[in-house]
Amino acid sequence: MKKRRIKKRKIFKHFIFMLLMILVAGGVFFGYRTYDTAKRVHQYEEKVEEAAEKNGVSEYKSLLMAIIYTESKGKGIDLMQSSESAFGSQNQISTQDESIERGVSYFAEVLTLAKEKGDDVWTAVQAYNFGIDYVNYVAKNGGKNTIELAETYSRDVLSPTLGNSEKKQYRYWRIQSLIYNGGYLYHNGGNIFYADVVKMNQWILTKMDWLF
């Protein structure tokens, strides 16, 4: 009996050790991947700064960098995924500089309208994903972006407008979504967590800025 208890303790200790090793390895991998992405996004800082100054939104440079982090992680041509807002369709952007210029210009446009309507800045950020009509929607519903309000707009306005009248959902594996609703978004309904994800990525970039 005593030998059996000792054996069980050894197995338990071995299990805990392996679990800790997995957690450490996962943490190192996640940390390196985050650093690598932040470093890649950082290389566009000067271009973002120039575009932000041109459009009168210099104080939002770190937020614009976070949008790049969120949209493309600094990869590809259309860094800010600004083709649809500029041309109404995908794959119309031909250079990274054009993507930044168009993306910053569009953000400046929605931010200006948000301020005119009395909305907060995160409404403008969410509208970068949803479209400019979201600014007016928030203005009529309290003037402040929330996940609950974004979900209502996604489910009842955006998603049906773009063909999802049955309000079908799909899996979305992010910490924000898992906590809020178990990890779901509406088809054709944009990303209701977009502003929160951008906020988190802005924090990451700010904390890592000293490394570059």
**Would you state the pLDDT for residue 21?**
66
Q: Compute CA distances 207 → 41, 81, 130, 188, whole Å.
A: 14, 24, 28, 33
- Is residue 47 over pLDDT 90? yes
* Same domain membership, residue 102 and residue 72: yes
pLDDT, mean of residues 40-51: 97
Interatomic CA distance for residues 170 and 147, integer angstroms: 17
* Same domain membership, residue 121 and residue 179: yes
Compute φ and ψ for 51, nearest 5 degrees.
Answer: -65, -40
pTM of the complete model: 0.87
* Same domain membership, residue 109 and residue 72: yes
pLDDT digits (tens, 9 = 90+) for 63-77: 999 999 999 999 999
Domains of the chain: total: 2
Show the domain range for 35.
1-42
Interatomic CA distance for residues 61 and 47, integer angstroms: 10
* Same domain membership, residue 53 and residue 32: no
User: Residue 114 has which token pair?
Assistant: 């948000």
* Same domain membership, residue 58 and residue 6: no
User: Residue 138 has which token pair?
Assistant: 């928030």
